[in-house]
Amino acid sequence: MPQTPPTVSVVMTVFNTQRYVGEAIQSVLAQTFRDFEFIIIDDGSTDRSPAVIREFASRDPRICFVSRPNTGIVAAANEGIGMARGRYLARMDSDDVCLPGRFETQVKYLDAHPECVLVGSRATVVDPYGSPVFESGQKLAHEEIDAELLGSGGGWAIVQPSAMMRTEAVRRVGAYRGRHNVSEDQDLFLRLAEVGRVANLPEPLLLYRRHYKSVMHTQWRQREEVKERIVREAYQRRGLPMPADWRFDDWKPTPLAEQARAWGWAALKRGNVSVARKHALTALRAAPLSGEAWKLLVCAVRGR
């Protein structure tokens, strides 16, 4: 007898995130909303990520685990989307953490707003150790989000691992496009905004982890060409000219020593002294003669 499809299909791609993937999986399994399937695509990891996932899959039948050679995040995500049976599609990254009420809150919103094809949320940005750094401030309304998606920094208009979408709409617009392995979320969200409304919820429903092995930091050099093409194609689809003053935001990752200091001060402000000390040591290893790094270490040792 065929199984009743779940309300939500969660799709998470994994590549070499053994340090974080267990916490990410546990945060999905701990959701207050229980009617979901959890599709995990391991994209050719060479670390212990597959072993961690298999352990969870052996204990929870909602997990559908696929492991195969590396093809890139776009192909891996589309494979998961092709398997999805739920009417709603929740994206998740293997280094982030869902807060317990995320799915329940987003399902209620989509049920109450049939015109909405995509809802994200604000997020609490955390450092590699999970210590909070700041809360994001994404725009909430369709028009503001769409305008930001059309800008050079539009990838942050909706935080991808906070996104829940109507599965039918994602498939109708062609899911992720294979030539974009960077900013693939911005491209999809722009196309979804052309067939329905998009929104963000004001409460943070995700802990968004920043670390130096994330795609944002390892593939940032590809962003300029890709982003301009994505935005230009969106204007063309809409029959509008590309603004003459459109410029790429030229974002670059913060140098390690500087970033470690920033994370260290944020941790110290939150009272996370042990985390602040770790960041201070990282900053010193990256820049041994930095007075600012030594200042952070002294304050972290003192605990204030």
The fraction of the chain above a pLDDT of 70, given in percent, is: 94
The DSSP 8-state label assigned to residue 290 in this structure reads: -
Tens digits of residue pLDDT in 121-130: 999 999 999 9
Cα end-to-end distance, the chain, whole Å:
62
Residue 8: predicted pLDDT: 98
* Lowest mean per-residue pLDDT among 159-163, 181-185, 208-212, 272-276: 181-185
pLDDT of residue 2: 58
Query: Which tokens go with 120?
Result: 């994200």
What is the structure's pLDDT at 219? 55
For residue 116, name the pLDDT band (cuts at 50, 70, 90). Answer: very high
With contact defined as beta carbons under 8 Å apart, do 138 and 66 qualify? no
The Cα angle at residue 199 between residues 31 and 156, in degrees rounded to 5: 85
Give the whole-angstrom CA distance, residue 304 versus residue 300: 6
pLDDT value for 25: 98
Distance CA 245, CA 156 (A): 20
CATH superfamily label, 8-237: Spore Coat Polysaccharide Biosynthesis Protein SpsA; Chain A (3.90.550.10)
Distance CA 26, CA 11 (A): 14
Q: Is the pLDDT of residue 224 over 70?
A: no
Whether the predicted model's global pTM rises above the 0.85 cut: yes
Kindly list the domain boundaries of the chain, sorted by start residue.
8-237, 256-302
User: Across residues 279-295, what is the average pLDDT?
Assistant: 91
Cα(224)–Cα(250) distance, integer angstroms: 7
- Is the per-residue pLDDT at 1 higher than 50? no
Query: Longest C-alpha distance within the chain, in Å?
Result: 69
pLDDT of residue 253: 77
Q: What is the pLDDT of residues 174-221, one digit of tens each?
A: 999 976 567 899 999 999 999 999 999 999 999 999 987 655 555 555
When the pLDDT of each residue in the chain is averaged and rounded to a whole number, the result is 92
Q: Which of 175, 216, 6 is nearest to 93 (CA)?
A: 216
pLDDT of residue 254: 84
- Determine the pLDDT at residue 220: 53
Instruction: Using the CB atoms, write b or e for 224-249: b if 16+ within 10 Å.
Output: eebbeebbeebeeeeeeeeeeeeeee
Asked whether the predicted pLDDT for residue 81 surpasses 70, the reply is yes
